[in-house]
Chain A
Amino acid sequence: MRSLLSGKATCNSHGQDSSYFLGWQEYEKNPYDQTRNPQGIIQMGLAENQLSFDLLESWLSKNPDVAGFKRNGESIFRELALFQDYHGLPEFKKALVQFMEEIRGNKVSFDPDKIVLTAGATSANETLIFCLAEAGDAILIPTPYYPGFDRDLKWRTGAEIVPIHCTSSNGFKITACALQQAYQEARNRNLKVKGVLVTNPSNPLGTTMTRPELDLLMDFIVEKQIHLVSDEIYSGTVFSSPNYTSIMEVLSKYEKAEVLDRVHVVYSLSKDLGLPGFRVGAIYSNNDTIVAAATKMSSFGLVSSQTQYFLSALLSDKKFTKKYISENKKRLKNRHASLVSGLHNAGISCLESNAGLFCWVDMRHLLSSTTFEAEMELWKKIVYDVKLNISPGLSCHCSEPGWFRVCFANMTEETLKVAIRRIKAFVESTSRGPDKAISGQRCANVSSRKKPFSKWVFRLPFQDREAGER
């Protein structure tokens, strides 16, 4: 009996049966609200930047032409409504690359003709893999990594991900040894390695890559003749030193080398500007064949012309972008500091970080054993009892149990304080010596609650949370 649907429709490569999403489901059922549901679950698993909308709203109030689809007082609605050229609106691309340059301290320059617009970074990453790899080829990715990569890079492309294992022993930095090991693992599995994909600044670590790491990566891809994709979606969220170094800066030393054709950058406005709903992603490459192929593929997910138009006006306002970038960083820095110090007061430390919308939190000391089972056990307590949705390291493919990603930019300051209070209370209750009977019962309740989960994923299709958040 042949199958009614495709292999892709019936497999699990979309990755949405992962525990990462269970927490979201619980949150959806019982979301925290300061006044209406103060006992609800606080969402800390969502890497969104909600700190600077007021700046955008204020810009809008001063720029009414944009609202009316006008330019210099004349209506351009018709042209916008018709505009579906996959090359994108030239003024938008120009403004976008200038914004990217500004984020990099104007230390690099981007050519608007080398940028391809896509429906979010989700689409950018998938499109790049379609261009670089055949089904069955491997991409090496340092762990821990964004859970959505399993879907974005593998699902419809048929590519494989082989992890480059990073550990807490050196702050999860990439080492030459880890790179070689990953390459070898791929070879052992008979997989052809087509490239390395890194996220810089890192999700979930919140750290920027060091220059030695970047040089190491370049040496590696030169040696192996493979591609390097640098997902720089968080590049505008670097709020303290060390300063951000984009792969584009490192490339400048390679001037005319052939490797320039094999380094590509992915970007998006979802994190830096906090506009994930608008679906604005980009691929940047010096390889004109890739640009040509990716441009054609972008037909499957173009950016709405209405959105391109609005953003071209916003990002062309240099006074605004300068103010926004700096104010946004300041707010992220403060919020990050609140979370870190709050956790510190609860006896919990974080990986030292300078970017992103989250902290990489060390809860190894709270595990009953150094196992992933213990991590899941702890995580469920945090979701169901402490009522915080945070992301377990396992869902990010971390090789060490006990680490969690905790987001801080998607809530108000007050909510963050509530979350910190709850964590503190939890830690204190744990260190007081838990009543084994009670905690055992809790675990039993929790594990019995686990059983229906896999049914939920299919029976509640309309409550599935969008897995785009990072």
Chain B
Amino acid sequence: MPCERKPMRYGHSEGHTEVCFDDTGRFIVTCGNDGDVRIWESLDDDDPKFITVGEKAYSLALKNGKLVTASSNNTVQIHTFPDGDPDGILTRFTTNATHVTFNSIGSRVAAGSSDFMVKVVEVSDSSQQKTLRGHEAPVLSVTFDPKDDFLASASCDGSVVVWNIEEQTQVISWPLLQKSNDVTNAKSLCRLAWQPGMGKFLAVPVETKVHLYERGSWDHVSTLSDDLLTQPINVVSWSPCGRFLAAGSVGGLLTVWDVNSKLCVERQKHEKGFTVCSLAWHPSGSQIAYTDTEGCLGLLDGLGTSTQVAAKKPAKDYDDLFDDDDDRLMDEGLSDTKSPAKKAVGWDDDDDDFLVPATGRVKNRGAFLDDENSLDTGSLKLGQDKFGDNNDDAGSSVAPAAPPVAPLRPVYEGPMPTPPQKAFQPGSSPAHLTHRFMMWNFVGIVRGYNDEQDNAIDVEFHDTAVHHAMHLTNSLGHTMADLSQEGVLLACPSTEELASKLQCLHFSSWDTNKEWMVDLPKGEDARALCLGQGWAAVATSTLMIRLFSIGGVQRELFSLPGPVVCMAGHGEQLLVVYHRATGFDGEQALGVQLLQFSRKKRQLISGEPLPLSQKSYLSWLGFTAEGTPCYVDSNGMVRMLNRSLGNTWTPVCNTRETCKSKSDHYWVVGVHENPQQLRCIPCKGSRYPPTLPRPAVAILPFKLPLCQTTTEKGQMEEQFWRSVLFHNHYSFLSSSGYEIDEDAQNLSQKEQQELLMKMFALSCKLEREFRCVELAEMMTQNVVTLAIRYASRSRRMALAQRLSEIALEKSNQMQEEEQEEPEYSSTRRTSSGQPRVTNILDNMMSSKKSAQLSSSGGKPSKSPVLKPLAPKPKTKVPCAESVFKQGSISRCLCAFRPKTGFQLWLEENRKSILADNPDLEETDVIKEAMGRFRTLSTEERLPSTCKDSLKFYVGVHNLQFS
């Protein structure tokens, strides 16, 4: 029975709330703690008619245009329905009535009260009253026998009593419930319900089960239960056809049983888990309205069509009802396929209902077989149906052995997809806040205000030298902002009339026009934006990224493989994170692209997955002040790009470790590599800081999550690798043509070497000589000399011997570099200079660079520390050793003097050239080889044997020349 749970809506103020349908099913009528009866035309009715019946309304019943309510003035009153005119008082109690109900034909009203009494009153003549005394505690609920002979009531004294109305005596009493002293303290409201029609069963909710008692014998014939029901059932209600029983429980579980099969055919959970305190079936049986103790009204719609069918003939005898019903249900099951043919069958069936049931049945079978192949509701059910038919024929009608089982909705238990996280601006608080940060970054703060008085944006700069603070009225409704030293970029989503707009306040412009605006094409919404140096980027809902110059010239645009999550810009780099796929079980599947718009536009990271902590999402994305990409996930893990390890991401800090409480967070606003600072705002009990009082920035240190950082060794290792990682930006900056602070770089190198030396000393102390050698390989030559001295002083001659080998190797390498550099560069210049397209910009750049190089040219030779810690080519070790034995460094240099790239290549390829042209002279061979060599790319030129070492040279070369 697939049904749709409509969203809950506010009905009354919180407290006990009751609901019923009017006779036609047109209106839903509710009463609640606010003393009003509301008449809803539908669940979406935003302006329901209301009748005020008292200060509080405890219960209501509606039949034949009469609305009976129990209100706080201890009366049971009648109002006309739907007009709501008062129509007199039916009866009074000494305290308030707790439950009122009509009999099946609407001639009598029964009311139970907190003064232990139950009264039965004729609606037409309120003087004709019958009082049923005998309960020893407030009455919880009352229900009429459909044949009007009996009345059942439940009370706080724990008893459920069946009364003979005429004789006003107890027929039977069951001690079923937990005792309590008042209705408000009762575990369950215990709303009884008598099966409509013949009144065969009385349903009594007892704890988590529903007991069915048979009329007449008063035997407990069966129990309805469900494993999911763990809290007491508050209320039960029969479907109009009398076949289904709905129950609402404390904790908000709604369950529908098929009484014949005793199987649960429908389960729904209240969306907030509030206690269901009343429920009512629509007269057609297709809807259930329910209310909770918080005053909300809900509706289950589209309850299985079977109930509708069953409801069509309430007048029919039971045996027939069930018998036919099975067939009908089969048909109904088939009609799930929704083929037009099936509908036709359904129609036929309706017509046939009373006239020729037999033929209808045959027809049904035929249809059923025809459609066997197209069935998708499960052949299992099919078999059951067939089986059921046989049984029916045998004539067991009271409880058909195999009733049609409406299958529960298939429950999927595999990994669930995670809702993809929405696009956001890093450094902003959520857009729904009235006062929020639209951006907090290195440059300044953009605050957005959106309340009744004002819709404005404040821009404030950390450094007032950049620009004075600005106040803008936000008439366009901008929701996104970014701020740089050059301008403010704002964007608003599209509205019905207006397109999504991009506005840039280019305050650093030297002309008088400090502002430009661009409308995005219709149907395209800005999702994320960022500013770089001289450019702006906006990612849109059409999976596109549009680039603009800061002055407003449209530049490149390109498509993203998925919806954007956020963007960040720095200098000439653009970092984009987007949804790569759907994540499962709380994970996000994000991809990242890093682009560089410098002279040589290129993609440094092309759509690789972005590693996040488990079950977390991205919460901040940006660059360090030095230009290294960096991001933070919702678990507080800060990760930084390690350019020297193939653009991998290294975790550098876990902000949650420093949080005092679980709900505290750090809101990251910036990352600096030199000095190593993570700038963030501590937020007590939230993820975002409030705009007032103005939050203060705190600084967190970085810490690589290395093992055993409590030991001295672990600490030094952590320091060393952190230092290495946080000084990667020097090589990146110099390689992309920025000037770098050489002093700071040398300082950092010195620091690293000092740490290595300390670790060396520690390993020495611990007698770990192998480890010493490993460390020495990371050292520079001068430091290795120190290490040798240290080793020999601590009388470790074997170690000193090995170290001196390393030292020699390192000195060789250095000299090779020095000699290699000019040679190699000259060959490259000549070989690569020609085919290159030279434009003006190119020349400017290269001249600038060579100038830069010459200015700092003296340094590399003087300070060998500049050399990066690269793996040394292992093949050279034996050579170095042999040379060491001869003891002549100069000879070693001669022997080792490396050949130019061309010579090496020629050696390797001479044979093939000779094979191709066997009659060439030596000079011709070289000419031919020259020709071939020129056509090759740099990579291919490297002879295989020397590829490793040459790659290294190329690396060094690029480092210093590009």
The answer on A and B forming one complex is no
Interface residues, chain B, CB within 8 Å of chain A? none
